[in-house]
Structure 1
């Protein structure tokens, strides 16, 4: 932003001085040395940054389109065509400012990762708990993690049990039960229990720190993409200088060569592409698609591969009740009793009951004698009935029998990603509840449409293969890569880049950040919440459904089509004018205005991107 404001101030100041110099030179004392000196001085001052940029570009081995523009301005001054030189410089400066506005990018992409990293921990000492910085923790120290707190370091549980939300780190949608000897990772969120952890890795060696390092490495090694216009510059420059030399040879007048260079000034290359890109970025923003880098538009338009994370991307990332299987009693009564009891629970799955009761208008009752066994279930009296809601082991521990055929199928069902919760009323198993991560609406339709445009589509997830296969079957995806940690996802992206590039990665969590940064285009399912994924992603879409990803793809293709049209038409018209100028038909000053008409035409065409 600071660079853009600086450029705007420089451009505004230059325009004021240029207009002042032009006024003095044209209307007051055209042939006096002071007015000529001022006018030429302003032109040279405005040209200087372009000369420096041109030299630096050529030193890097690139052949920028600015070479013709700089040459034509200098040639105009040499042959005393000052006004033509000023017009060329005016268009050149305007193009730079427009391009800067269009492709400005946020530079602090790992701010979210660093700001969300754990900073303190409750360290257990002989005299009690002491809050310390995570950087001071050493291997072997003992740390207490309270309910709903972020786990500060990697470690192993030595006391307590609790469910832990690891979705941000591993992509596993369901909370993972932790007990003695279970491993836990920094950056994950503790559930309803209290855990005592023995530190197994320092803060710098933690999983969270490794993810931050992966993101930084991916961004450092992300190849810079050459401006689209520069790809046309070599042959266009050769044609321009060849025709200029031919015109000079034919006419023996250097003004003829200048006229060719003036109409050859590649403003269609300099302005048309950034105008189309700026229009595309604006149109995308109206649809809830925020494109941080214009380069991403070109890469997305030519994408050959799209890789999708599962939890929070293909699915909503929120547990929801899928089915009630009633074994005994009235379904509506069982729903009311279970939802009434669960409204007091601190377990993560209790949200599924609250949401179900709200959505389906389930009546809730008062609860008496409420008790909760952490990680097991809840018990209480509802409408004179003794109600239990929890795991199979919870009911069995209360000597409530569960049909054997149901117990035998429990493992098979849970392998597909569905959690099983039992409801007992008056010491009789009355219902079985299936709870799972819900697939986003219209996802199957989205992938059916996407297959017509993208050759290679795959699901890349931290979930087990059985869960991934179940989701993939529902949405119509054949390629699955499961059980992926963040580093594994990055390797998958690189493998696809070697065969089917450009590669687009779509994800939403901290665990997706390295792969989003590694991919040619990272699309983050972001919304209003600032996460590592939304900071690292080249494109951020609001969570209104995956269909917005298709919108981003279509906008990118439209931008590239129209930008290419503008460039090709602009170059074609410039070549025609160059040929006419080569034979003395067009003079330098008139050539500058003809070129301006071409610029207006290509910019107008580029703005068609805004028309849906």
Structure 2
């Protein structure tokens, strides 16, 4: 039986014990005594609590649960079994609520390991054999087929290859590699099959290193300590002192018991978990998944925000940035013809071009006589118009650029963009520029985060400094870190975390170690369950940045409500302790009064469910 099941069982036993005892007391059934039933139902809670306190004490933790143990034990010793069972219900109910609040979200490495390369195709004199990736040796010649993961790090043997490196570097566009270039495991063959020579064993390759870093960063995280425990060292001695004084002055041990009962810190045990449950539920309605109350609390205290660039601050794909057209040409008409032609292509840009045309509600035609020049572009017919689209060399050969197109060529000369040249007939009609565009809500999100108390905003990316600076010019950033490997990202996050509680926001597998290393990791998980989602504490399901600001606001509001409930509950308990010490409250009345205080703080904590700002279109 696991701990969660045990806690629920203890709560059920306590509630049934109270109900059966009340029934026996009211009816006088048989020879049973209500007190005996209440005592029997309280003892399992006492024993379980004692074991839990000893275990926590052994690992260096000490919480306010000790007051509940003292009050229940004292009540049983003094024959106040009804008070004991009421306290037992309060305590057991608090632990069950806490289980729900935490969510027991485990940060497993399942997504990472599921994506890890499993097999390799090794060449030999007898042909090609498929072997487990663990059997690959340095120097083996491997065949990587179209769409496959590279099994290990290696050297490209063929003249060229097209690789999707977004999972490792964050770079959104496929990269062209030439013979002799270093290739990294975990990247995807985005072109035709090629040959490579293994330069590292599987456990020493790039992707395996990312998996290890995620595991190490997660293990290094400190466990969540309940908010109630922070008050433990103060509350327990004060409670024992007040009860001891009440006993000494009055000479009545029952008065001391009444003090212990009303001091049972159920507002501490219950208020924070209930508020956290409300906050987590409220966030879920807005497409924000928080892995338990620890994630929410950490997010509320973040003062530095670190953002990955590709797929986080930017869209993470090749989006249409600008259209340059020849004099007299209509940009929409040219886009319609280009999108019509690209319907026949499987190139990475084809979908982006089609999306741009759909966004402008353009009606596409069927292309014919299409010929694709791999890696260069297309030529074909659309509505009896001869059209060529692709690289400058394919479309213009050695012809010079017309004057109208030169400014665009100069403007994007050193930028990380793709330029698609489009000719109608034999004349250049336009140039389409594609790149990684800024998220539409990026500026507003960063503004809201600063208003929420985020004091420092950092962009951390594996892209080169040119690409990073192009995006940074559009945003209010404090620091830019470019050309960062996964290991360097972790180091940068650790450095920021040493200065202030840090939130890391990212979406790629290359971000997973940094997400796990941050005080709180936020994964942009709209594109599927990735390793970053597993490593993160918070997952944003919407393909927008706005929910990041919503998540911070919800977390801050929830934590504030939890603190309000705790302070109010403690203040009311303190007043009740004074009344009990003066003999104005009996143990049973004190237990019932404490239940009333619990209801009050729970109702206040439930306000965390009432924030209706999340869920924007």
TM bin, normalised by shorter chain, reads over 0.9
Work out whether 1:276 is the aligned partner of 2:275. yes
In the TM superposition, what are the counterparts of 1:52-67 in structure 2 within 5 Å? 52-67=51-66
Residue by residue over 1:94-148, the C-alpha shift from the partner in whole angstroms, topping out at 9 and shown as x without a partner, is 0011111111222252110011112122322333332222121111122222222
Q: Which residue number in structure 2 is paired with residue 334 of structure 1?
A: 334
Q: Is the 8 A contact 2:39 2:81 kept in 1?
A: yes
Q: Deviations over 1:538-587 (max 9, x none)?
A: 11112242111111111111111111111111111111111111121211
SS where residue 139 of structure 2 aligns?
coil
Q: Which runs of 5+ in 2 are unaligned?
A: 612-617
1:6 CA drift (Å): 4.8
Q: Distance in 1 between matches of 2:124 and 2:340?
A: 41
Instruction: Spell out, residue by residue over 1:262-297, the C-alpha distance to the aligned partner (whole angstroms, 9 max, x if none).
Output: 111111111111111111111111111111120122
> Secondary structure of 1:480's partner?
strand
Secondary structure of the residue aligned to 1:61 is: coil
Structure-2 residue corresponding to 1:370: 370
Where does 1:268-347 land on structure 2 (aligned, <5 Å)? 268-327=267-326, 330-331=329-330, 332-347=332-347
State how far apart, in whole Å, the 1-side matches of 2:121 and 2:410 are.
Answer: 37
Matching residue of 1:475: 475
Partner of 2:388: 388
Runs of 4+ aligned structure 1 residues displaced above 6 Å come to: 32-35
Say which SS state the counterpart of residue 317 (structure 1) adopts: coil
Task: Tell me how far apart the structure 2 counterparts of residues 362 and 162 of structure 1 sit (CA, whole Å).
Answer: 34
Contact 1:263 1:577 in 2 (8 A): yes
CA distances 1:335-382 after superposition (whole Å, capped 9, x unpaired): 343223322222212222222222223344444443222222222344
The answer for the alignment partner of 1:358 in structure 2 is: 358
Match in the other structure for 2:615:
none
Give the 3-state SS of the residue equivalent to 2:437 in structure 1: strand
Instruction: Quote the Cα distance in structure 2 between the aligned partners of 1:123 and 1:406.
Output: 48
Secondary structure at 2:150's aligned position in 1? Answer: coil
Aligned in 2, Cα 1:478/1:575: closer, same or farther, shift over 3 Å? closer
Q: Which residue of 2 aligns with 1:512?
A: 511
Superposed CA deviations along residues 160-180 of structure 1, whole A, max 9, x for unmatched, are 533221111111122211222
Is the Cα contact below 8 Å between 1:139 and 1:201 reproduced in 2? yes
Provide the C-alpha distance between the structure 2 equivalents of 1:412 and 1:4, rounded to a whole number of angstroms.
62
CA distance, structure 2, for counterparts of residue 185 and residue 539 of structure 1: 29
Q: Does 1:111 align with 2:133?
A: no
Q: What TM-score, normalized by structure 1, do the two folds share? A: 0.94
SS at 1:322 equivalent: strand
Q: Kindly tell me: are residues 200 and 412 of structure 1, through their superposed partners in 2, closer, same or farther at Cα, counting changes over 3 Å?
A: farther
**SS at the partner of 1:567?**
helix
TM-score under structure 2 normalisation? 0.93
> C-alpha deviations, 1:173-206, integer Å up to 9, x for none?
2221122222222222221322211111121111
SS of structure 2 residue aligned to 1:245 = helix
* CA separation of 1:3 and 1:388: change in aligned 2, threshold 3 A: farther
User: Are 1:421 and 2:420 counterparts?
Assistant: yes
What does 1:255-274 align with in structure 2 at a 5 Å threshold? 255-274=254-273
Contiguous gaps of at least 5 residues in structure 1 = none
Query: How far apart are the structure 1 equivalents of 2:479 and 2:575?
Result: 51
SS at match of 1:143: strand
Q: Deviations over 1:245-270 (max 9, x none)?
A: 11011011111111110111111111
- The equivalent of 1:178 in structure 2 is 177
Aligned equivalent of 2:494: 494
Note if contact 1:192-1:347 (Cα within 8 Å) is conserved in structure 2: no
Matches within 5 A, 1:598-609: 598-609=597-608
The offset of 1:385, in angstroms, is 4.3
The alignment covers a number of residue pairs equal to 609
Flag the 1:368–1:82 CA change in 2: closer, same or farther, 3 A.
closer
In the superposition, relative to structure 1, how do residues 246 and 264 fare at CA in structure 2: closer, same or farther (>3 Å)? same
Aligned to 1:85: 84
Counterpart position of 2:213: 214
Task: Provide the C-alpha distance between the structure 2 equivalents of 1:34 and 1:584, rounded to a whole number of angstroms.
Answer: 27
Distance 1:47 1:411 in 2: 78
Contact 2:149–2:188 (8 Å) recurs in 1: yes
The CA distance in 1 between the partners of 2:540 and 2:209, in whole Å, is 26
Aligned partner of 1:153 in structure 2 is 152
Cα separation, 2, equivalents of 1:465 and 1:412: 17
Paired with 2:446 and 2:223, the residues of 1 have a C-alpha distance of: 30
Q: Does the 8 Å CA contact 2:35/2:82 hold for their aligned counterparts?
A: no
User: What is the deviation of 1:59?
Assistant: 2.4
Q: What is the distance in 2 between the residues matched to 1:569 and 1:146?
A: 65
Deviates more, 1:304-313 or 1:376-385: 376-385
SS at match of 2:361: coil
The match for 1:563 is 562
Shift, 1:328, TM fit = 5.8
